[in-house]
């Protein structure tokens, strides 16, 4: 094991431990969006597309469940919009799987959410 590998082993765990919940959400959206993008490009691989759509659906259902909690501090209007997007991704994902729609809107929505999660400027 070289010095770089030892450093990554020693400090890697601590670096991950400092991720904020926002960082974790971003990482989840990035991972799902990469998989969905790759699967959408390979039109012949239906199992890969189905798995990516399922993963996207799970992510949005987890998000919607969290947003629906009374203890969630987000403003009510933002909560409502996120729940609407979760419902849209559910319905549109079925259309993509049936071959009647493109995955592009799902990818665009996820990308927009990622941009929002990256925007760390304080609100006025």
Asked if 72 and 66 touch (Cβ cutoff 8 Å), the reply is yes
Asked if 36 and 106 touch (Cβ cutoff 8 Å), the reply is yes
Q: Hey, what are 63's tokens?
A: 């998000």
11: in domain: no
Kindly report the pTM of this predicted structure: 0.79
Does residue 26 sit in helix, strand or coil? helix
Between CA 92 and CA 73 the distance in angstroms is 28
2: in domain: no
Domain extent, residue 43, equals: 20-118
User: Which residue did the predictor score with more confidence, 3 or 85?
Assistant: 85
Between CA 67 and CA 53 the distance in angstroms is 21
Per-residue pLDDT at 21: 86
**Angle CA 37–24–13, to nearest 5:** 115
pLDDT tens-digit series, residues 24-78: 999 999 999 999 999 999 877 899 999 999 999 999 999 999 999 999 999 999 9
32: in domain: yes
| Phi and psi torsions of 101, nearest 5° | -150, 165
3: in domain: no
User: How many distinct structural domains can be found in the chain?
Assistant: 1
8: in domain: no
Is residue 98 very low, low, confident or very high in pLDDT (cuts 50, 70, 90)?
Answer: very high
Q: Give the sign of the dihedral formed by CA 120, CA 87, CA 69, CA 30.
A: negative
């Amino acid at each position: 094991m070289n010095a770089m590998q030892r450093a990554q082993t020693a400090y890697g765990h601590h670096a991950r431990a400092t991720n904020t919940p926002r960082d974790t959400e971003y990482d989840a959206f990035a991972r799902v969006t990469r998989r969905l993008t790759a699967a959408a490009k390979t039109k012949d691989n239906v199992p890969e597309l189905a798995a990516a759509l399922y993963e996207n659906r799970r992510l949005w259902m987890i998000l919607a469940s969290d947003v629906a909690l009374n203890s969630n501090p987000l403003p009510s209007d933002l909560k409502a919009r996120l729940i609407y997007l979760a419902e849209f991704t559910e319905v549109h994902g079925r259309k993509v799987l049936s071959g009647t729609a493109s995955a592009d809107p799902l990818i665009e929505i996820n990308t927009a959410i990622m941009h929002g999660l990256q925007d760390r400027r304080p609100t006025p």
